[in-house]
A and B are shown apart, each in its own frame.
Chain A
Amino acid sequence: MRKVFLLLLSFAAIINEIAAQEVKKEKMFFSSQVSSGIVEGEQNTSFHVELLSGVRYKTWFAGIGTGLDYYYYRTIPVYLSGIKYLSPKNQSFFIQGDAGLNFAWEDETAMGWSEVSNEFKPGLYWNGTVGYTTGLKKKNAFSFGVGYSYKSIKEIKEMTVWCLNPPCENTFETYKYNLNRLMMRIGWMF
């Protein structure tokens, strides 16, 4: 998964490079956004960081994003994103919706002593954000948003139960995590 994450980052960087070279038409242009912030839910308050790249047309934006989300389990969301700016100006409120998949960044050190293995399966990821963006010059702008974020992931634990005639057959537990959080993020668009 880490390789996928790095691949997506590279992809976003390439898109951004293309964007820098092709900013000709004002109505449609490539745009990227790096953002970070906090997510807060029942379990704790955590950090997240994201990179979003795509195309903006008038007051609409569509792109693909990825990042790191440290809430409960460290995960890598990969999602499609759509943004509607309420104004064509540099300073504008916006509404953002993201939807995609949530992958675990496996961490075997988190296994308990009785566990033989734990395997993660990806789950859904989505969020809705409202925010405000304020431009500095041309396509550079700060954005600030708050919203609701959901991520899920499935974990399958394989464990051994002690028995008198080892080896003892393993047993399995499956955990499905449906995690609901509030999200705040501050980003830099370029």
Chain B
Amino acid sequence: MRKIIILPFFAIVVFTLQSCLKDKITKSYSVFEPIYKSKADVQAEIKSSAAVSISNPGKIYMYGNYIFLNEVNKGVHVIDNSNPANPLVKAFINIPGNVDIAVKGSVLYADLYTDLVVVDISDPLNATLKKVVPNIFPERLYVAGFVSDSTKVIVGWTEKKIKEKVDQAPAGRGWIARDAFMLSSGTQSSVGNSGGAKTMTGIAGSMSRFSIINNYMYAVNISSIKVLDITMLNEPKLQNTAYVGWNIETIYPFKNKLFLGSSNGMFIFDISNPVSPAREGSVSHFRACDPVVADDNYAFVTLRAGTFCQGTNNQLDVINVQNVRSPQLVKTYGLTNPHGLAKDGDLLFVCDGSDGLKVYNASNVFSLQLLDRVKNIDTYDVIAWNNRLLVVAKGGLFQYDYSNPNSLSLISKLTVNN
């Protein structure tokens, strides 16, 4: 009995030693520092070079038998898609800081951080720089906390791995990396893909910030639309900067309208006067990222929550735009992590992040019918054209045949090589 009595005392003694015990929590992360190159050198290198593997795919642009695929912040892959079952990466155009692309005729327009570069792609395998229009995107002067001056460009990053002891895990179990900066990844280009290809300008996805309509190129930044006259393809001229709102993210053209997705809502602009976009209507929503596609009657907006998008909802909103001056939300559908979307006739294709690609029959917007779902790909944006679907996902570039929308069939894939 005496032994039993001793034990609690023993326990008390042991637990008084608690303060001697220390937890050890280590945090590992990477810090990235920019590698600079002179602007002159960078511009001299803007030309087709040997093909490189795809590692971080961004926006896509389909033009004839070619696909132009943005490698985020590095340049553009030129892909010969003459045989969709066997697409070939033929060349790479080195454009540091590039995230957006658009094509008209034989000219590729691309951003190079703050500048717009004009590249002749009449022979895509032998592209050449034609012109640099400086300071079209001044907001991109700041890159992950670093500022380039007018003479140099960030062409890469050196990674430094840091390991440090911390007192405890971040408050709330998770915060942004304190010092970790990385390249911003891209999206895709836009232009109407809802039935009817625009052969002169190609086709882009819904995540784009560039759009070409007739002789004008529209480029949105965080708060404005830049209108550039591209009548002379190699000589774009900035005609107007129209301030349109805040946190503008995407642009989608349909007929003589521009649909702008912002993190606070969707805006509709009339471009009957192409130089001066005039705001006609808008719909506000809670804070979220929201690419948009539209047809004559409805706009389809995916709202993505979390991370930099903030908000808490992931959904597809269907908005009646028959009266563009007073668009009305008609129906909301829950999704998982929606990104880009595309529409072809009654078919609506939605990239739902890690939940894959979803195909809906949208003939009745009040009751979308899920026809098929492609699983096991983390989808980002999509172009639908002529029964062929181009899908950019984390794993690469996938092409599907949707002639039977109830069962998409994989035509080919170009996989990411990290």
Digitize A146-175: 1 where CB-to-B-CB distance is under 8 Å, 0 elsewhere: 101000000101011111111111111111
What residue of chain B has the Cβ atom nearest to residue A110's Cβ? Answer: B173
A161-B176, A161-B177 known; A173 and B28 CB under 8 Å?
A: yes
What residue of chain B has the Cβ atom nearest to residue A111's Cβ? Answer: B174
Interfacial residues of chain A within 123-156, with CB under 8 A of chain B in the complex? 131-132, 134, 144, 146, 148, 155
A116-B307, A165-B186 known; A182 and B17 CB under 8 Å?
A: yes
Among candidates B21, B168, B175, B184, residue contacting A180 with C-beta atoms closer than 8 Å: B21
| A113 lies within 8 A of B306 (CB) | yes
Among candidates B4, B7, B139, B185, residue contacting A169 with C-beta atoms closer than 8 Å: B185
| B11 lies within 8 A of A164 (CB) | no
Among candidates A40, A72, A114, A165, residue contacting B174 with C-beta atoms closer than 8 Å: A114
Contacts of B174 in A (CB 8 A): 110-115, 118, 157, 159
| A175 lies within 8 A of B26 (CB) | yes
Whether B181 sits at the interface, judged by CB under 8 Å, is yes
A30 to chain B, nearest CB (A): 26
| B17 lies within 8 A of A167 (CB) | no
Once bound together, how far apart are the Cα atoms of A114 and B177, in whole Å?
Answer: 9
What residue of chain B has the Cβ atom nearest to residue A42's Cβ? Answer: B23
| A146 lies within 8 A of B14 (CB) | yes
Whether B374 sits at the interface, judged by CB under 8 Å, is no
Interfacial residues of chain B within 1-56, with CB under 8 A of chain A in the complex? 3-4, 7, 10-11, 14-15, 17-18, 21-30, 56
What residue of chain A has the Cβ atom nearest to residue B181's Cβ? Answer: A161
| A174 lies within 8 A of B176 (CB) | no
| B308 lies within 8 A of A162 (CB) | yes
What residue of chain A has the Cβ atom nearest to residue B166's Cβ? Answer: A175
| B28 lies within 8 A of A155 (CB) | no
The count of residues in chain A whose C-beta lies closer than 8 Å to any C-beta of chain B is 48
The count of residues in chain B whose C-beta lies closer than 8 Å to any C-beta of chain A is 58
| B15 lies within 8 A of A161 (CB) | no
What residue of chain A has the Cβ atom nearest to residue B14's Cβ? Answer: A146
Among candidates B27, B140, B171, B222, residue contacting A173 with C-beta atoms closer than 8 Å: B27
Contacts of A159 in B (CB 8 A): 174-177, 307
Contacts of A72 in B (CB 8 A): 23
Contacts of A91 in B (CB 8 A): 3
| A168 lies within 8 A of B184 (CB) | yes
| B306 lies within 8 A of A116 (CB) | yes
A113 to chain B, nearest CB (A): 7
What residue of chain B has the Cβ atom nearest to residue A178's Cβ? Answer: B24
| B56 lies within 8 A of A132 (CB) | no
Contacts of A167 in B (CB 8 A): 184-187, 289, 308, 339, 380
Interfacial residues of chain B within 151-204, with CB under 8 A of chain A in the complex? 166, 168-177, 180-187
Whether B147 sits at the interface, judged by CB under 8 Å, is no
Contacts of A174 in B (CB 8 A): 27-29
The majority secondary structure among interface residues of chain A is strand
Whether B260 sits at the interface, judged by CB under 8 Å, is no
Whether B343 sits at the interface, judged by CB under 8 Å, is no
| A171 lies within 8 A of B180 (CB) | yes
Among candidates A43, A155, A165, residue contacting B140 with C-beta atoms closer than 8 Å: A165
| A112 lies within 8 A of B28 (CB) | no
Contacts of A160 in B (CB 8 A): 176, 307-308
Whether B226 sits at the interface, judged by CB under 8 Å, is no
Of the listed residues A116, A167, A180, A184, the one surrounded by the most CB atoms of chain B closer than 10 A to its CB is: A167
Of the listed residues B17, B139, B306, the one surrounded by the most CB atoms of chain A closer than 10 A to its CB is: B306
A116 to chain B, nearest CB (A): 6
Whether B258 sits at the interface, judged by CB under 8 Å, is no
Among candidates B7, B25, B172, B380, residue contacting A144 with C-beta atoms closer than 8 Å: B7
Digitize B207-221: 1 where CB-to-A-CB distance is under 8 Å, 0 elsewhere: 001000000000001
| A132 lies within 8 A of B3 (CB) | yes
| B29 lies within 8 A of A172 (CB) | yes
Contacts of B183 in A (CB 8 A): 169
Among candidates B4, B209, B306, B308, residue contacting A132 with C-beta atoms closer than 8 Å: B4
Whether A56 sits at the interface, judged by CB under 8 Å, is no
| A182 lies within 8 A of B22 (CB) | no
| A176 lies within 8 A of B169 (CB) | no
Sorted nearest first, the 7 A-B pairs with minimum C-beta distance are: A112-B174, A163-B184, A160-B307, A169-B185, A115-B174, A178-B24, A174-B28
List chain B positions with a Cβ less than 8 A from chain A.
3-4, 7, 10-11, 14-15, 17-18, 21-30, 56, 72, 99-100, 139-140, 142, 144, 166, 168-177, 180-187, 209, 221-222, 249, 289, 306-310, 339, 380
Other 12 A-B pairs with CB < 8 A, given A113-B307, A113-B310, A162-B308 = A161-B144, A161-B308, A165-B99, A165-B100, A166-B187, A167-B308, A171-B29, A172-B177, A175-B28, A175-B166, A179-B23, A180-B21
List chain A positions with a Cβ less than 8 A from chain B.
40-43, 72, 91, 93, 110-116, 118, 131-132, 134, 144, 146, 148, 155, 157, 159-182, 184
